[in-house]
Homo-oligomer: A and B are copies of this chain.
């Protein structure tokens, strides 16, 4: 399953942004294609909260990746041309060091002894992988969802290190609706008695809490309109309801249950807590006074910002803000608002809309004309959130 997975052990002590260190943390990653002699064809992908580094299949691991239709030979991110790297986030549980890993200083899992994780830590860890591969400047830095915020942190901390930016369904910082939704997910997990202050047995753990948290996550990842179209008020047949009057009665409930059960067996609860909180904590303004200032200072030659009109987790005005801010810094910026009905997750499922937009961005030669902003940014954002 993970025959394509590689590991980089970061030597020495890795200092975390909010304090604490990790000794020799490991970052899992996968690559596709070949780095050219000029070392100028590298594309780095940071992921959303839950994926591994396995973005796409390869001979070493033929199982489909989480972004299979976007990455591969002759696909929008064409691995015959680009050397593509995808890292498993620091703090995650698919090969990279995280709360579920063994702390080399104690021989025990970190659990809640893991230092506070930020997306900047995830970005710096990704940078260390690139350095080890001999890559200084990326051709394109790609980030959907949480990975988009990670990419913004990377661009802010290492200006000039990415010639192009592809930011998808993300924002310059977490807004209160998203914070509320994630905070409640974490509370649900922590209130499960089986969580036991993070000391659960890995074989069991807070299964019920994780299932409910994932359901709430799914509610933020999709859209009301999609569910009206897919499920309406379709009922679960009575014979599947076991006579429990409070058991799920509608297909939408059954859909959420199936998704949640699948996720619960895969993801470590403490890792989920740390990554979830890292998204809440992220605020690009910390890198230079205001979001606008930081975006204007990102020295990328070109950027594409994609948003989806039905996204409730990162609403479209957040992508407008990114595009306008990057355009103010004189980068050539394109902004695409897609009418996908699947909400925040559209970049994973509405490939017919996403593929051509991504392909066009990667295929365009260096100096072709592009559409440039400004786009309107909602007043409330500009006023309240410097």
Contacts and interface: CB of A to CB of B under 8 A. Distances in A.
Interface of A: 112, 116, 173-177, 179-181, 183-184, 186-188, 190-193, 208-209, 212, 215-216, 219, 223-225, 227-233, 245-246, 248-253, 256, 273, 277, 280-281, 283, 312, 315, 380-381, 384-385
Given A183-B248, A225-B380, 10 more contacts: A175-B232, A176-B251, A179-B252, A179-B253, A180-B219, A180-B252, A224-B312, A228-B381, A249-B281, A250-B280
B246 A216 contact: no
B216 A184 contact: yes
Contacts of A250: 176, 179, 183, 280
A270 to B, nearest CB: 10
Nearest to A225: B380
A253 B180 contact: yes
A260 to B, nearest CB: 10
A385 B256 contact: no
Nearest to A285: B233
Given A191-B212, A233-B385, A224 B176 contact: yes
B224 A177 contact: yes
8 nearest A-B pairs in the assembled complex, by CB-CB distance: A177-B224, A176-B252, A176-B227, A232-B384, A176-B231, A183-B253, A232-B385, A229-B380
Contacts of A223: 177
A233 B380 contact: no
**Residue from A179, A181, A273, A312 having most chain B Cβ neighbours under 10 A:** A179
A174 B384 contact: no
Interface of chain A, main secondary structure: helix
B385 A176 contact: no
A216 to B, nearest CB: 6
B246 A173 contact: no
Contacts of A180: 215, 219, 227, 252-253, 256
B248 A176 contact: no
B173 A233 contact: yes
B224 A246 contact: no
B215 A184 contact: yes
Contact of A384 (B179, B212, B228, B385): B228
A229 B188 contact: no
Contacts of A177: 219, 223-224, 227-228
Given A116-B245, A233-B283, A250-B179, A228 B380 contact: yes
A175 to B, nearest CB: 6
A228 B277 contact: no
A10 to B, nearest CB: 23
A219 B385 contact: no
A174 B233 contact: yes
